[in-house]
Chains A and B, each alone.
Chain A
């Protein structure tokens, strides 16, 4: 992965920075230039809470090469307290105990790496509360 591309995404991956539309209050994570709800172009930067619930999930058995060592792993769509939904892996969880609705919190984790010599990609994952 391009190092500039990775670096550009740090504010949202590291600090959960989101954009709250100044007109309609809709929260976009990550930040955007245009509100998808009302078309407004002015936003306030907010930091999302690190708690939410699991809306749905899958367990990946056949993964892209960068993730093949992690198989099987769980990925889910998680609804955070602010109402925003994110896609993230679910870590530190017995896969048999995954359940829609379970409470989760966000932790800073390694996501992948560019082989043994490239940069390490960090970001958010969810763990059982």
Chain B
């Protein structure tokens, strides 16, 4: 039998272009913030989600680096990678550690330091999430892969260019209420539609940015949380983890995300819940089309109706199922390895009632969806306040 797992502490570093902060500084900033928030004086093990500190900073062996600089050696630590789903994967690994009874207090962090290299090198680093030999070789980019998904979705379901733009407008509106968002400016539909073309039909305002940042959470068994947590514990009721083909062209349907669908199915089952019972979700809007496809796979919009759902306001704060009230990757920022953990941070913040201007009313259950590459790996977590 495994133990129930709760989140008792959350923390974020600053997010943005952090010229004065190094990879280790950023991680430690978030980790200490989470440790302070939890009020614990020791941790038993640590998981670090990071996509590619090796290419961005030349640094590997983050387990040792972070344990050393956080001052927690000799605890066991591991860096886990699943491209942009590294953070979500780290959350699952931390959960397993607590659930199996191997550790009582586990730190799960995610970090990415992306601005020590130029745009070309950053693009190259991000492209390692795609198939190097059979996709990247031919000159494809990530915006290009998602652009093809967008074109397919528009052709198959009549999703419009405006509906894609609405995702960006909504997420910036949410981000304007998030003091830690990298780009908290509100934007208009016209601004999105007229922004510079990156990969037809996606424009720069359809794309999430390059960000330095880290996020961290503290996990412990639910029983322990009830005793020591100063704030309402938030239980991880369920999770789902699935993979799909790494290359977009090997998927039978270019408009769907089978790993997300599978991970969601597993998460709903484990959490014994369903889409209607979810009060808010944080999803992986690396590009506007991604959010549209994801909400369909999560059951928040009918197949092909993700664009309509967005345009109707259903996914806006105050709507039926608020999506990305943090601002999402688009406005909040996307330090790759940190994103999956930051999604948990936002959900816990909301479930504790600490969302401020962007608080979702009566938020009791939240869902996070974190995916890697063009959807080759996905983690879904479902959390509930106790």
Contacts and interface: CB of A to CB of B under 8 A. Distances in A.
A75 B155 contact: no
A45 interface: no
Interface in B52-72: none
Nearest to A62: B198
B198 A61 contact: yes
Contacts of A58: 143-144, 147-148, 151, 199-202
A64 B143 contact: no
A17 interface: no
Interface in A63-89: 63-67, 70, 73, 75-77, 85-89
B19 interface: no
Contact of A89 (B139, B152, B254): B139
B108 interface: no
Contact of B139 (A36, A56, A61, A64): A64
A59 B197 CA distance: 9
A10 to B, nearest CB: 12
B148 A56 contact: yes
B157 interface: no
A62 B143 contact: yes
Contacts of A75: 138-140, 144, 148
Given A56-B254, A61-B200, A85-B249, A121 B137 contact: yes
A111 B138 contact: yes
Interface string A9-38: 100000000000000000000100000100
B141 interface: yes
Given A65-B120, A88-B138, A77 B148 contact: yes
A100 interface: yes
B248 A61 contact: no
B227 to A, nearest CB: 48
Contacts of B245: 36
Contact of A111 (B139, B198, B250): B139
A64 B138 contact: no
Given A62-B198, A65-B123, A111-B137, 14 more contacts: A56-B155, A57-B148, A58-B147, A58-B200, A59-B197, A60-B140, A60-B199, A61-B197, A64-B124, A65-B124, A66-B139, A73-B139, A75-B140, A123-B137
Interface of B: 120, 123-124, 127, 133-141, 143-144, 147-148, 151-152, 155, 196-202, 245, 247-250, 254
Interface of A: 5, 9, 30, 36, 55-67, 70, 73, 75-77, 85-89, 100, 111-112, 121, 123
| Those 6 A-B pairs whose CB atoms lie nearest each other, nearest first | A58-B147, A59-B200, A67-B139, A85-B249, A65-B120, A77-B249
